[in-house]
């Protein structure tokens, strides 16, 4: 839960990892302005794991980019607790650098002194269970290993909020499953807040404390679910499957309502 702090002047400020208030976003299109996000309001509490779920094209990445500060909302406001770290479906690692040097670059940009970088990078690689891969080049790593390095690099930024845009979508089911376990462990170990975008209902339920369903055209918050299933969860656990079915039904309704296939 978010902590409410009473200020001396009586006004209240609420501490959040992210606070999205009445955010709308339009893009200029051939037929004029296209409303992509419509009046989105949601908070991510410190240490909370929230998944943002919705059909393709509903505006999930647009919203994440706004939270990351890569673009500005057309209206409404977004505040975050410090600058968030980002992780995408494509690892976006520099291929000419080793795994370790990719992480060290993020540390350098974060102002970590040169003398500390190597040790910090080694520790981060250990955290994502890639001990011994410091000197490996990107092409020597499997897809799952690359996403582990990308996660380590995101964590190197020491952000209090981690924004993840379908980071495991390109991986096979078994590798994805392993990375779900790793992410849950790392989230617990570090206490980082996570806003995780996916169109995979089971993945959303497997990972999150709260699932927020976005409708399409324009994207609005359609429903949200608090997921009380204890961790560790498995994607095939009965409660995960049951809640996923319920959410899928609502998602199907949303997609039918908007005439998408
Ligand atoms: N820079 C842009 N200029 C114009 N239109 C854009 C821009 N970025 C996104 N859009 C439009 O906004 C809508 C939402 O796109 P977005 O990428 O946010 O969807 P998404 O939910 O992330 O989809 P997916 O699940 O396929 O990744 C789409 O119709 C897209 O064409
Ligand atoms: Mg997207």
pLDDT band at 13 (very low <50, low <70, confident <90, very high): low
pLDDT band at 254 (very low <50, low <70, confident <90, very high): confident
Q: Does residue 205 register a pLDDT over 90?
A: yes
- Residues ≥6 apart with Cβ < 8 Å to 195: 17, 18, 44, 50, 52, 64, 67, 84, 161, 162, 163, 164
Q: Can you give the pLDDT at residue 29?
A: 87
Pocket test for ligand 1, best of 28, 36, 56 (most atoms within 8 A of CB): 36
Ligand whose nearest atom lies closest to the CA of 28? 1
pLDDT band at 10 (very low <50, low <70, confident <90, very high): very low
- pTM, entire model: 0.92
Q: How far is the CA of 96 from the centre of ligand 2 (A)?
A: 27
Pocket of ligand 1 (CB under 6 A): 27, 36, 54, 56-62, 199
Q: How far is the CA of 62 from the centre of ligand 1 (A)?
A: 6
Q: Do residues 234 and 74 touch, judged by C-beta distance below 8 A?
A: no
Q: Can you give the pLDDT at residue 241?
A: 97
Q: How far is the CA of 168 from the centre of ligand 2 (A)?
A: 12
Atom of ligand 1 nearest to the CA of 166: 27
- Condensed to tens digits (0 to 9), the pLDDT of residues 142-192 reads 999 999 999 999 999 999 999 999 999 999 999 999 999 999 999 999 999
User: Buried b / exposed e across 7-34, counting CB within 10 Å, b at 16+?
Assistant: eeeeeeeeebbbbbeebbbbeeeeeeee
pLDDT band at 259 (very low <50, low <70, confident <90, very high): low
Q: Can you give the pLDDT at residue 7?
A: 41
- The closest residue, in CA terms, to atom 4 on ligand 1 is 27
| Cβ-defined contacts of 179-184 (< 8 Å, 24+) | 179/144, 179/147, 179/148, 180/206, 180/207, 180/235, 181/232, 182/128, 182/129, 182/148, 182/151, 183/151, 183/207, 184/231, 184/232, 184/233
Give the number of other Cβ atoms within 10 Å of residue 130's Cβ: 21
Token pair, residue 168, equals: 């495991």
d(CA 258, CA 261): 9
Q: Can you give the pLDDT at residue 92?
A: 86
d(CA 5, CA 12): 6
Pocket test for ligand 1, best of 55, 57, 73 (most atoms within 8 A of CB): 57
Pocket test for ligand 1, best of 33, 37, 61 (most atoms within 8 A of CB): 61
């Amino acid at each position: 839960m978010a902590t409410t702090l009473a200020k001396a002047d009586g006004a209240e400020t609420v501490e959040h990892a992210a606070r999205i208030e009445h955010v709308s976003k339009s893009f200029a299109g051939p037929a004029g302005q296209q409303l992509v996000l419509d009046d989105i309001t949601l908070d991510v509490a410190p240490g909370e794991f929230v998944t943002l779920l919705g059909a393709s094209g509903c505006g999930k990445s647009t919203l994440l980019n706004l939270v990351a500060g890569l673009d500005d909302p057309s209206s409404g406001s977004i505040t975050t607790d410090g600058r968030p770290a980002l992780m995408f479906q494509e690892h976006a690692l520099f291929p000419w650098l080793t795994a370790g040097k990719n992480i060290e670059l993020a540390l350098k940009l974060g102002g970590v002194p040169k003398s500390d970088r190597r040790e910090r990078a080694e520790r981060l690689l250990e955290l994502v269970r890639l001990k011994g891969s410091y000197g490996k080049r990107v092409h020597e790593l499997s897809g799952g290993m690359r996403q582990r390095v990308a996660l380590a690099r995101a964590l190197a930024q020491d952000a209090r909020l981690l924004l993840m845009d379908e980071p495991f979508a390109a991986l096979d089911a078994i590798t994805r499953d392993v990375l779900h376990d790793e992410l849950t462990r790392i989230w617990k170990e570090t206490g980082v807040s996570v806003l995780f975008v996916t169109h995979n209902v089971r993945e959303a339920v497997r990972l999150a404390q709260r699932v927020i369903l976005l409708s399409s055209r324009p994207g609005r918050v359609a429903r949200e679910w608090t997921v009380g299933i204890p961790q560790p969860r498995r994607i095939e656990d009965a409660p995960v499957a049951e809640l996923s079915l319920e959410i899928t039904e609502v998602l199907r309704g949303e997609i039918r309502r908007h005439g998408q296939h």
